[in-house]
Structure 1
């Protein structure tokens, strides 16, 4: 995994030994997102649709990305959504006009592996944001490691074509 941080952007890149379509589904189907990212997820895979993660099962008021939206969706190429930080950063980054943006790009390496690039932008220059940037830097590394581990196990719904 490669991680780059400049003053206000976090970029993480990882190659996963799984086909592109399965990696894409892992990010865009609620049930699959909840297998590796957050225990509960509401993902409406359309532009303007929800991208809501709930990190405490059953709790819709704390530690979540409620009201975050997908702002770009290009099938098996790009997913962009608004983002809220954890509760300790609520005062600086979770109001509607302060949301950051996460852009996830997908590139096939070959038929059985996929490069995923997460670029998290929108962090402000203010010193109050420094801790939030550092926290997200660590968190995205963990998230992508979790995704890689879950997909490469080849078990459960993450390994299969979804039933439509």
Structure 2
């Protein structure tokens, strides 16, 4: 089972890459705080509640692989409500981001794998289907606004 979603963003592949791989850029569209280390097994931690980094975060998640500026693979944790299902550090889910350049922008493909089959896993997967659509919509609108750090080289 894979969560698969795609979007086209009217922006360069390089800027979209930076939006996913730089802490000060990912916080403009995804999470209010982040610590990203662009190296294999570097941190890929997003903090959705910066006042408590152990809650509602991807703390402990690592960047598994990347090929700049077109591919990124990282571990993922879900919200606290799914702690008992998907946030065990021995069995984290995996997110892959692929960026394909086009004449007027970039196609982004997101694949989220590693889902189990129990009811809890199905609820977590369904939650993430909506969450990823919202996140990519936020990225797209911020990148295409023509304003701010996400739109500048």
TM-score bin (small chain): over 0.9
Asked whether the 8 Å contact 1:79–1:103 carries over to 2, the reply is: yes
Aligned to 1:5: none
State which of 118, 137, 142 in structure 1 corresponds to 2:134.
142
Tell whether the 8 Å contact from 2:13 to 2:70 is kept in structure 1 after alignment. Answer: no
Alpha-carbon distance, 1:128 to partner = 2.1
Moved more, 152-161 or 29-38: 152-161
In the TM superposition, what whole-angstrom CA distance separates every residue of 1:56-81 from its partner, at most 9, and x where no partner exists?
A: 13221210000100001100110000
Matches within 5 A, 1:22-37: 22-37=15-30
Please give the root-mean-square deviation of Cα atoms over the aligned residues, in Å.
0.8
Determine the C-alpha separation between the residues in 2 that align with 1:30 and 1:109: 26
- SS of the equivalent of 1:98 reads coil
Residue 79 of structure 2 is matched in structure 1 by 86
Q: Counterpart of 2:11 in 1: which secondary structure?
A: coil
Q: Give the SS at the match of 1:134.
A: helix
Q: Do the aligned residues in 2 keep the contact of 1:92 with 1:98 (CA within 8 Å)?
A: no
Match of 2:111 in 1: 119
Instruction: Report if the CA contact (8 A) 1:48-1:71 is conserved.
Output: yes
**Residue 154 of structure 1 corresponds to which residue in structure 2?**
146
Q: Structure 2 length normalisation: TM-score?
A: 0.97
The normalised TM-score by structure 1 is 0.91
- Shift in Å, 1:44: 0.6
Give unpaired runs (5+ residues) of structure 1: 1-7
Q: Structure 1 residue 47 and structure 2 residue 40: aligned?
A: yes
CA offset digits 1:2-39 (Å, max 9, x no partner): xxxxxx21001000000111111000110000000100
Q: Give the aligned length.
A: 153
Cross-structure match for 1:56: 49
